[in-house]
Structures are given as structure tokens and as C-alpha cells.
Amino acid sequence: MCQLLGMNCNTPTDIGFSFTGFRQRGGGTDHHEDGFGIAFFERGETGKIGLRQFHDNQPSHLSPVADLINQYPIKAMNVIAHIRRATIGEKNNLSNIHPFVREVWGEQWAFAHNGQMTDSFIRRTERLHDNGNAEHYSPVGTTDSELAFCYLLNRLKATFKSRPSDEALFAFLTAQCRYLSANGLFNCLISNGNWQLAYAGSLLFYLTRKAPFGEAHLSDGEMSVNFGDVTTSKDKVTILVTIPLTTNEKWQQIAVDECVVFQDGDVVFKDTPSKKTYLSIEDGIALARSVGASV
Amino acid sequence: MCQLLGMNCNTPTDIGFSFTGFRQRGGGTDHHEDGFGIAFFERGETGKIGLRQFHDNQPSHLSPVADLINQYPIKAMNVIAHIRRATIGEKNNLSNIHPFVREVWGEQWAFAHNGQMTDSFIRRTERLHDNGNAEHYSPVGTTDSELAFCYLLNRLKATFKSRPSDEALFAFLTAQCRYLSANGLFNCLISNGNWQLAYAGSLLFYLTRKAPFGEAHLSDGEMSVNFGDVTTSKDKVTILVTIPLTTNEKWQQIAVDECVVFQDGDVVFKDTPSKKTYLSIEDGIALARSVGASV
């Protein structure tokens, strides 16, 4: 339910420009006004990744917490943000606001979801929890999204006793996302601070900005940036979003049921269904509405 | 290492006054300037508790994130805050900034520590992790504090397959805190949003404000509040802190190795050693220095 924004780059980058447009959709240019959250993975002096999160139950276009994010630029390697339009779970309750975070093998994993899991998935997965068969992670709030995240992580921990290689991990996560997508409408972003995984169940776009940098104009506000003025020639910054944020750049659509993983701004893993399907934005919105979700 | 601040109340309360004094100790009136963190447990409309956290690697007396907390009053049922003076773990790295949070049986648990675990505890506990004998929780950062928190939670999950009663839980946590206190200098605050547990290894004070409310003067700044103006007669608010925050109120000291749990502003559990010891503030600071921690 709602909209996703992600960033993955090869140098600490301020997401301010993209966030300025995105937050307008939380009650300004669009109706996702039931709170927002953003997780920043920042690299310390020794290279160690730290996470901090900001959540607010105010609409992002008005939120003082969102104002802070624009006024106090945070340079991060990975960001996941989410604006919420409540369909399942108490509106405005902080425990229902994405991104959700869990520690996995000593890493913080952040997750945000856009879509809607089926009633039968929810019932089945809740039963696993009630029967004590989901021992590692349990949802704190009442969303289908956090339930799906916990399902995925419980499967992960049940399958691997210790952290597998990235290659094995990405293949496993793709398979789990395919399962979740077969049991609902499931677009998601997941990051451990080093990589960011994007799975498209319906709508998800990305754009990699690198030299030569040009100018970008926001679709949701009167703002332009010439990235040539604020970057070096080595910078590579990938932005992921449910619906493109700028009007004059070429966004790449992720195919339905395609899984793409980014690291240092580059695609490092991709698993594409043999038959590629792309939904138009209108069809993606209609699909979300038909299952009771929102885009 | 560092200082702790906690709040537990029977009605959603803004911690602004206490936080105003406390944040001054992060680089203003004291030297705890290696970042700060604060976790707010807020009650939603249906009574469901949600958590949000703010972390910054700037000194709290100057931090724009701390400014936001003063300017955007958050009414919470439980709060845990921590200002850091780095002794173990990279200075200023976000992954080393308390409070640390883990999900336990579908509840968010926040933890902050003041003290210093012994080298032998650290080595022994790291070995447990390396040998795969600490399967549920692992530290993300490099502090002894997060290691102690993970140790405690791994023991909890290894002992109870599902959530025990609060009574059994508090007795178990007291025993674990005693063990940790025997293996280092260990003052901590833990909250699941409903209750807040305080364990004193050296210095920890609390104060319960209730009707008839009076005026309070901060020790770390020129600020006074008449709580009678901002409360109702039913309000009950307990503040916990390493060193008292006000000059004109009677703070209650927690004895060395005493464990006290608060709910709705009241003491609901207490386990006191048969021989009560209280350190003077000077002796507590000297003890912290002698083990390489800071107060």
C-alpha cells in the first residue's frame, strides 16, 4: 500500500532532491497521508555501516520530521523510504509504518512494501506464528507487509544456519519474493546497507545517475537540480521509486516479477522471468485498487 | 558508557523538560559528545504501542535532531535516551549509538547501557557467537553494550520458547542483569513500551512526579517548569537518570545491584540485594573511570 523510494550509491549521497518530490505525494500531490518512514544506511569512518530511521504518523508533506530530513542533509549509501496509505492495520499507528527493520546475522535489514497480501496468505502465516513455527521473527504491528517481511526472514533463518554468500542469498530472496508475489500484490525494497534488492510485483522504476550529469526536474514540485554542480565524475547514484519522480529523465521499468539487486549504484544481480511483462502506470494503479491496495 | 535517561508514565507525556537538561550533558555541561539516541514508545488510538527512534552522531547539545525533539513535542508512555562518550567501538558510528532495539516475541525492546563489560565477558560472548551458539541475536556494531544486550536476549529466547508471564520475565531479567553486573559495570534501562526496567550497577536515580505537582529547576540550564500548569491530577510520571536532573526535587537512588520495574509510573517489581549499598555520585564517577567507562 503506498509508495516506495530507494537509493543505492557508490558514494555517500543526500537524497534531499528525490525526497522533496516524494514527500509531496504524502498528502500534497497524492493521498498517501497516513504517515511515512525513512531508513538511512550511513558509512562511518572505518567503513562500518550504521542505520538510523525516522518515522512519523503525520502526512509527509507537512511533517516536521520530513522538514528535518530536508534541512539536515544526511549522506547515505542506501536509503529506503515509504509513504503510507492505510488499508490493513490501524491508520497512523507508528507500529504500522514502514520501513520495518530486523537484525539478521548481525546486519540491520530494512524492508518496505507496496501492495496487498491475500487473506489466505495472512491467515496461513498467522497460524504458523500461533503454532510456534515462526520462531525468529514476529510482527509488532498489524500490517500484512510486516507479516510478509517476517515470513521471508523466518524462511531465511530456517534455511541457512549462517549467512550464505551474496549469490545464494539473492537467489533465495528472489524465490521467496516470487512466492510472496504469488500470494498477493508484492512490490518491495530490502537493504542491508550494502546492497538493495528491488522486487516488482506491479510498478517499480529506477534510474542511475552518473557522469555526464544533467539537470533534473521534479514532477511533484517546482524544483530542478543540475547534478553536475553537486557531484564528482565518479559518482553513481541509483534511485528506485514506484512512479518516476522527474519529468525529463529516462526511467527504467522493472518487469513484473523481476528481481534486481544494486550495489554501489550498479546492478549486481538480476533475475527476470522468461516472459517479460510491463504494466502501464494506469494499469498498475488499477491493479492495486482492484486488490484493495493503493498506489 | 555515558549517561541514561528514561521515562515511564500513566499518560502520554512530553519528555521535553528533562531532555532539555539531559542533552546539555552531551558536549555542553558535560563531555558525552559522541552522539545520542532516543526511543519513544507511543500509544496509538487503539492502545497499540508503536516505537520510533532518533539517533545522531553529533553531540546532543548541538544536534539538529535533538533540536527537533525539543521543537516537535512527542507524547510517549516510555522513553529511553542515551548520550555517548565512546570508550569501546568506533566513535560516532551510528551502529554504536544506543538505544539498541530488537524485536522479541512481537514486541520492540529498547536497551541502553552505562558502564563497561570486562574483556573476559566480551571474549567469552564473542566466542559463543562465533561458534553459532547465540542463534537469535547478534550485535551490529562493536560496543560491549550491544553485545551484553544480545547476550541477555539470546539467554531469554533459549530459556523460554514463548513469552512468559511478566512476573517470570522480571525475575529472569533480574538474574541476567546480576550476571552481567558481575561481569562488568552494568547500569541499564530496558523497555518493551509497557514497562521499563532499571538496573543499577553503580549510579541510577528516579523521581515520580504526581499530584500535587510543584516546580522543578534544571541543574544543567536556566529552566524551570511548574508541572501543575501542564498536568492533570491523575498524571504519574517517573523519570530515571544516571545523575539527577533537577536541583530542588528529591530523587530516589536505586541501590547497587537493585532491579526496579515501572509501569504506569509506578514500581511494579523490585528485587533488592539483602545488603543495600548506595554509591555517592563522586564514588560512582570514580568507579566508572577506574574500569575505563565514563559517567
Indicate yes or no: CB of A94 within 8 angstroms of CB of B44: yes
Looking only at the bridges linking them, the beta strands covering B258-263 and B195-200 are: antiparallel
Nearest Cα residue in chain A from B65: A68
- pLDDT per residue rounded down to tens, chain A (295 residues): 489 999 999 999 999 999 999 999 999 999 889 999 999 999 998 889 999 999 999 999 999 999 999 999 899 999 999 999 887 777 779 999 999 999 999 999 999 999 999 999 999 999 988 887 777 999 999 999 999 999 999 999 999 988 999 999 999 999 999 999 999 999 999 999 999 999 999 999 999 999 999 999 999 988 999 999 988 999 999 999 999 999 999 999 999 999 999 999 999 999 999 999 999 999 999 999 999 887 7
Is the Cβ–Cβ distance between B24 and B220 less than 8 Å? yes
Indicate yes or no: CB of B93 within 8 angstroms of CB of A48: yes
Q: What was the pLDDT predicted at B292?
A: 86
Nearest Cα residue in chain A from B147: A106
pLDDT tens-digit readout, B74-131 = 999 999 999 998 877 777 799 999 999 999 999 999 999 999 999 999 999 999 888 8
Distance of residue A133 Cα from the nearest chain B Cα, in angstroms: 11
pLDDT tens-digit readout, B189-199 = 999 999 999 99
Most A CBs within 10 Å: which of B40, B41, B42, B52, as the mutation test of the A interface? B52
Most A CBs within 10 Å: which of B62, B68, B109, as the mutation test of the A interface? B68
Q: Which residues of B touch A78 (CB under 8 A)?
A: none
Indicate yes or no: CB of B46 within 8 angstroms of CB of A93: yes
Whole-angstrom Cα distance, residue B155 to residue B164?
Answer: 13
Q: Which residues of B touch A42 (CB under 8 A)?
A: 94
Q: Which residues of B touch A151 (CB under 8 A)?
A: none
Indicate yes or no: CB of B50 within 8 angstroms of CB of A94: yes
pLDDT tens-digit readout, B234-287 = 999 999 999 999 999 999 999 999 999 999 999 999 999 999 999 999 999 999
| Phi–psi pair at A98, nearest 5 degrees | -75, 165
Give the one of B92, B107, B139 whose C-beta lies nearest to A44's C-beta.
B92
Say whether pLDDT at B1 is over 70. Answer: no
Say whether pLDDT at B180 is over 60. Answer: yes
Give the one of B44, B55, B106 whose C-beta lies nearest to A92's C-beta.
B44
Fold of B3-291: Glutamine Phosphoribosylpyrophosphate, subunit 1, domain 1 (3.60.20)
The C-alpha cell at A87 is 488499508
Place of cell 512466492: A179
Q: What was the pLDDT predicted at B89?
A: 75
pLDDT tens-digit readout, B17-60 = 999 999 999 999 998 899 999 999 999 988 899 999 999 999 99
Indicate yes or no: CB of A52 within 8 angstroms of CB of B55: yes
A2 flagged as catalytic: yes
Q: How many CB pairs below 8 Å do chains A and B form together?
A: 111
Most B CBs within 10 Å: which of A34, A40, A48, as the mutation test of the B interface? A48
Q: What was the pLDDT predicted at A91?
A: 79
Q: What was the pLDDT predicted at B91?
A: 79
Indicate yes or no: CB of A138 within 8 angstroms of CB of B55: no
Indicate yes or no: CB of A162 within 8 angstroms of CB of B46: no
SS3 labels along chain B: CEEEEEEEEEEEEECHHHHHHHHHCECCCCECCCCEEEEEEEECCCCCEEEEEEEECCCCCCCHHHHHHHHCCCEEEEEEEEEECCCCCCCCCHHHCCCEEEEECCEEEEEEEEEEECHHHHHHHHHHHHCCCCCCCCCCCCCHHHHHHHHHHHHHHHHCCCCCCHHHHHHHHHHHHHHHHHCEEEEEEEECCCEEEEEECCCCEEEEEECCCCEEEECCCCCEEEHHHCCCCCCEEEEEECCCCECCCCCEECCCCEEEEEECCEEEEEECCCCCCCCCHHHHHHHHHHCCCCC
Nearest Cα residue in chain A from B134: A105
Distance of residue B141 Cα from the nearest chain A Cα, in angstroms: 8
Indicate yes or no: CB of B162 within 8 angstroms of CB of A132: yes
Q: Which residues of B touch A84 (CB under 8 A)?
A: none
Indicate yes or no: CB of A54 within 8 angstroms of CB of B52: yes
Percent with pLDDT over 70 in chain B: 100
| Phi–psi pair at A252, nearest 5 degrees | -100, 125
Nearest Cα residue in chain A from B67: A68
Q: What was the pLDDT predicted at A266?
A: 98
Domain range list for chain B: 3-291
Q: Which residues of B touch A130 (CB under 8 A)?
A: none
Indicate yes or no: CB of B95 within 8 angstroms of CB of A55: no
Catalytic choice (A2, A9, A188, A259)? A2
Does the interface predicted TM-score (ipTM) exceed 0.85? yes
